[in-house]
Every structure is written in structure tokens, then in C-alpha cells.
Amino acid sequence: MQITLGRLYLLWQCLCHQAIHSHSHPGQAASTNQCSVKVLKDLNSTCNCKNAIEWSVCIWSLHSHAMGIFSVLALPLLLLGISGIIYIYQSVRWLLSKSAVQNKVVVITDAISGLGKECSRVFHAGGARLVLCGRTWEKLEALYDALISVTDPSMTYAPKLILLDITDISCIRDVAKEILNCYGCVDILINNASMKVKGAVQSISLELDKKIMDANYFGPITLTKAILPSMISRRTGQIVLINSIQGKIGIPFRAAYAASKHAAVGFFDCLRAEMEEFDISVSTVSPTFICSYHRQPAPGNWEASIWKFFFRKVSYGVHPVEVAEEVLATVSRKKREVLMANPIPRAAVYIRTFFPELFFAIVASGIREKLKTEEEN
């Protein structure tokens, strides 16, 4: 007792036509009725049903077969539909983000770094008037050539290049005047420059601690203070600090770096509140760790400990492209704070806030495990 889907569909089509034309076109209804009878006879001869019970069982088996096919295809179709919706949403969001920075004067510090290059790329493609700052003129020129070679000159602006060493605090105010002279104003300031150091507290000199603070704290706030009067006078502007998750939690062997990032977060949190009356938005973007293009996590025997379970995602980090696109979205939507983190480091931030003793115990456990492994090696 088997009925093909094609024949059942033909019967259903005949019955539908019969229902539609039964009142308005009696002649067509009679013709359709003959078609239905013919299909029924054909179906009956195919399945050899002898009575109504066998006919019902036959129809039910076909229904079950059809539902089985539908259940198999439902999940892939659902996933395909959701993927399409997400793609459309992201495309629209990307277009809106690009339009939000068109013709805006955007200053990017340390533009020659991996993240700085990606931020330059996305803002340049969005039609922003870029002012790119960096320590090496040759690298700035190489970035300039790379940007103008892949975009339509009629749709974008040629970037302006400024030499800036963010650790040289004494020259920042003069450089800020040079930045303002490029276009007469600054719409968006992206503080991207940063310096990292890793080592035990007792092994890091006080001079190096001060250098880290200059690069990660005093440099950005000095440049921000120099640009701020122009924004206040125009009552518009955006300031973005690209910080780190270590501005939220301290990770061992990175004391100077974490201290500078904590200080920067505190400063820009206060600045955000003070700038509300001038319609100047202040945003912080804090990724776990901005990895290089080819960097791979370093293997280690001690990574099987609870330390790895809690912090392994921090060392893996996020790609500069992801961070740059998030910075563009942050600017277009004027987000106040963004934490770019996987579930484990994100959970660490909340555990540090609500369960500090548990957080300290986990960190201490990781330190002991690491030291033990180093002694064994």
C-alpha cells in the first residue's frame, strides 16, 4: 500500500480547483470532478486498497512519510533562514556604520600598528577624513600607499600623516595643534596607542613602569585634553579609548600594564560624565587581547590547570579586524562601553566584581601551578 507524493499532490490540486470553481463556473467544476475521480481510481489501482480502512491506512502512511521528509529538512531550512537574516542585519549595520563616519575628521593614534592599520582601513573605506599618527614616517607612508591603492579616490579622502610618539608627553600639545590645523577640527579621536610589558613586579624597573604609564595613560589623556577644547567649543565630538580587559581585572605578571589600563578606564569614565552637557560622547572598547595575524598560543605543561580554564581565552585574544569593525560600530552607535571577550574572561570580570575571594583563589592557584611547573622544568 504505497502512494506516490506526485499522485497525491495531483489529487489535492484537482480538489482545490473543484472547490474554487464549484459556484462560479459549474462547467469547470464538473470537469475538475471528473479529473478527481480519475485520479482516485488511479490511486486505488496503484495501492490495491480493498476498503475504506486500507485506504485510510495508505493515506496515513503517505502523510507520515511526508512529515518525516519535512522534519529532516526543517532544521537545515531554519538554520539557512536565520543565517540569511543575520547576514542581512550585519550588512545593513555595516552600511549604516560607514555612513556615520562619512566626511568626519578621524584621528587615529599608532596607526601603523596591526589594529591601527585595520581601523584606518575601515574608516577610510567609510569616507572619513583621516589623520594618521605614528612614530615612523616610512611606515606611515607605506600605510598611506596601501589605503589609496584599494579605494576609489573620488569616494574617499587622502589621509593626512602626522609624526607622534605618544610616550613623549612634552611634544604632544604641539602635535595636537598640528592635528587641528589639518582640517580645523576633530570629530572623532581614537586613542589606540599602547605599550605592553610582561614580568614579575620585582623584575620590572620603576623607569619601565613610568614608561608604560606614559604610553597607556598620560599620553592618551594629554592628547585628549589638547583636542577637547575644540570639541567643547563646537559642542560635538567623539572620543574612543581602545583599552583592554586588564582595565577591568588584573592578570599576574602584567602589573604595570594592568595599572595603566585601570587608570585610563577611571579617567575616561569620569570624562564621559563631564562631557554629557557638551554632547561629546566618550567610549571605551576593551578586548581581551589583540593578537597578531599569525600568532599562535604558546604550549605549556601547566595549561591543564584551573588557571588555563579560567584565563586561556585571554591569551588567545581577538583579531585586529574584529576590533576595528567593533570600533566603527561603537562610533556609529555611540556606545559607551564595549567588552570584547569570550565567555570565560567575561565571566572572570563578573566573578571579580561579585565574588572577589573566589577570583583571588583561582588566580593564586594558577600562580602556584605555574611556578611549580617552571621549577620542574
Specify the residue for cell string 570580570. Answer: 349
Residue 82 banded pLDDT, cuts 50, 70, 90: confident
| 189: Cβ contacts below 8 Å, ≥ 6 apart | 107, 223, 224, 227, 237, 238, 239, 240
pLDDT digits (tens, 9 = 90+) for 129-143: 999 999 999 999 999
pLDDT value of position 2:
45
How far is CA 57 from each of CA 139, 178, 261, rounded to the nearest angstrom? 78, 86, 72
State percent of the chain over pLDDT 90: 49
Kindly report whether the global pTM for this prediction surpasses the value 0.85: no
pLDDT digits (tens, 9 = 90+) for 311-338: 444 455 788 999 999 999 999 999 999 9
Question: Among the options 183, 257, 293, 316, which is catalytic?
Answer: 257
Cα–Cα distance measured from residue 22 to residue 279, given in angstroms and rounded to the nearest whole number: 69
Per the prediction, the chain carries an average pLDDT of: 80
Percentages of the chain per state (helix, strand, coil), in multiples of 5: 65, 10, 25
pLDDT digits (tens, 9 = 90+) for 266-323: 999 999 999 999 999 999 999 987 776 444 444 444 344 544 544 444 455 788 999 9
Cα–Cα distance measured from residue 190 to residue 359, given in angstroms and rounded to the nearest whole number: 32
Cα–Cα distance measured from residue 131 to residue 104, given in angstroms and rounded to the nearest whole number: 11
Contact 315, 109 (CB under 8 A): no
State percent of the chain over pLDDT 70: 68
pLDDT at position 115 over 60: yes
Locate 225 and state its grid cell: 585634553
Nearest to 213 by CA among 195, 232, 225: 195
Residue 1 banded pLDDT, cuts 50, 70, 90: very low
The rounded Cα 232 to chain-centroid distance in angstroms is 30
The rounded Cα 138 to chain-centroid distance in angstroms is 31
Rg value, the chain, Cα: 32
Mean pLDDT of 340-350: 87
Whether 217 is catalytic = no
